[in-house]
Amino acid sequence: SSDLKHLVAPGDTITTDTGFMRGHGTYMEGEKLLASVAGAVERVNKLICVRALKTRYNGEVGDIVVGRITEVQQKRWKVETNSRLDSVLLLSAVNLPGGELRRRSAEDELAMRDYLQEGDLISAEVQAVFSDGALSMHTRSLKYGKLGQGVLVQVSPSLIKRRKTHFHTLPCGASIILGNNGFIWIYPTPEQTDRKS
**Binding footprint of another protein on the chain (CB under 8 A):** 2, 5, 7, 9-12, 25, 27, 29, 34, 36-40, 52-56, 70, 78, 80, 83-86, 132, 159
| CA 113 from centre of chain | 23
> Minimum distance from CB of 57 to another protein (Å)?
11
Q: How far is the CB of 197 from another protein (least distance, A)?
A: 41
Nearest to 183 by CA among 105, 79, 109: 79
Amino acid at site 188: P
C-beta closer to another protein: residue 25 or 59 = 25
* Nearest 10 degrees: Cα torsion 20, 28, 40, 23: -60
Q: Cβ of residue 30: shortest distance to another protein, in angstroms?
A: 10
Nearer to another protein (CB atom), residue 22 or residue 104: 22
Between 33 and 108, CB nearer to another protein: 33
Cα separation, 175 vs 188, in Å, equals: 6
Tell me if 13 sits within 8 A of 33, measured CB to CB.
Answer: yes
Between 83 and 180, CB nearer to another protein = 83
Question: In the complex, what is the shortest distance from the CB of residue 38 to another protein, in angstroms, rounded to a whole number?
Answer: 5
Q: How far is the CB of 165 from another protein (least distance, A)?
A: 20
Distances from the Cα of 57 to the Cαs of 172, 174, 192, in angstroms? 30, 26, 33
Cβ proximity to another protein: between 2 and 18 the closer is: 2
Cross-strand pairs, 129: 135
Nearer Cβ to another protein (99/119):
119
22-37 residues labelled b (16+ CB within 10 A) or e (exposed): bebbbeeeeeebbbbb
d(CA 35, CA 75): 41
CB of 4 to another protein, least distance (A): 10
